[in-house]
A and B are shown apart, each in its own frame.
Chain A
Amino acid sequence: MAATKFPIEAGHILLFARAVGDTNKIYSDEDYAKTTEVKSIIAPPTFTMASAQFDPDYPLRPKEGQVWFGSGKEPTGIQKSSGGSGGGGSGGGGLHAEQHFEYHRHIKPGDVLTAMTKPGKTWEKEGKRSGKLMFSETVTEYRDQKGELVITARSVGVRTERPVDQK
Chain B
Amino acid sequence: MALSAKKLKIGDTYQEEIVNNLARTRLVQYAGASGDYNPVHTDEIFATKVAGYPSVFAHGMLTMGMTGRMLTNYVGDGRLTKYGVRFTRQVWPGDSLTAKATVEAIRQEGGQSFVDLNVSTVNQDGAEVVSGYASARIDP
Question: Which residue on chain A has the smallest CB distance to residue B133?
Answer: A100
Residues of A within 8 A of B3 (CB): none
Taking a contact as CB atoms under 8 Å apart, the answer to whether A20 and B35 are in contact is: no
Q: Which of A21, A52, A88, A101 contacts B34 (CB 8 A)?
A: A52
Number of inter-chain CB pairs below 8 Å: 165
**Are A60 and B68 CB-contacts (below 8 A) given A75-B45, A102-B82?**
no
Binds B, one of A40-48, A113-121, A138-146: A40-48
CA distance A37 to B85 in the complex (A): 27
Residues of A within 8 A of B35 (CB): 49-53, 58, 60-61
Residues of A within 8 A of B61 (CB): 46, 49, 96, 99
**Are A98 and B43 CB-contacts (below 8 A) given A162-B52, A163-B53?**
no
Chain A: interface size category: 35 or more
Q: Which of A123-165 contact B (CB under 8 A)?
A: 154, 162-164
Residues of A within 8 A of B33 (CB): 12, 15-16, 18-19, 50
A82 CB-CB contact with B under 8 Å: no
B21 CB-CB contact with A under 8 Å: no
CA distance A62 to B82 in the complex (A): 33
User: Using a Cβ–Cβ cut-off of 8 Å, how many residues does chain B contribute to the interface with A?
Assistant: 50
B49 CB-CB contact with A under 8 Å: yes
CA distance A53 to B35 in the complex (A): 5
Binds A, one of B7-15, B73-81, B100-108, B110-118: B73-81
- Chain B proximity of A157: nearest CB distance (Å): 10
CA distance A94 to B40 in the complex (A): 10
B5 CB-CB contact with A under 8 Å: no
Residues of B within 8 A of A62 (CB): 37
- Chain B proximity of A74: nearest CB distance (Å): 9
Residues of B within 8 A of A99 (CB): 60-61, 64, 84-85, 87
Q: Which of A22, A38, A58, A90 contacts B78 (CB 8 A)?
A: A38
Taking a contact as CB atoms under 8 Å apart, the answer to whether B65 and A44 are in contact is: yes
Taking a contact as CB atoms under 8 Å apart, the answer to whether B37 and A44 are in contact is: no
A-contact bits for B124-140, CB 8 A (1 contact / 0 none): 00000000000000000
Taking a contact as CB atoms under 8 Å apart, the answer to whether B77 and A24 are in contact is: yes
CA distance A105 to B98 in the complex (A): 28
User: Which residues of A are in contact with B by a Cβ distance under 8 Å?
Assistant: 12, 15-16, 18-22, 24, 26, 36-38, 42, 44-46, 49-53, 58, 60-62, 69-71, 75-76, 85-88, 90-92, 94-103, 106, 154, 162-164, 166
A-B contact pairs, 27 of them (CB 8 A): A15-B33, A16-B34, A18-B33, A20-B68, A24-B69, A26-B77, A44-B68, A45-B83, A46-B68, A49-B35, A49-B61, A52-B35, A53-B35, A60-B35, A60-B38, A86-B49, A91-B46, A96-B60, A98-B84, A98-B87, A99-B84, A99-B87, A100-B82, A101-B82, A101-B84, A102-B81, A106-B77
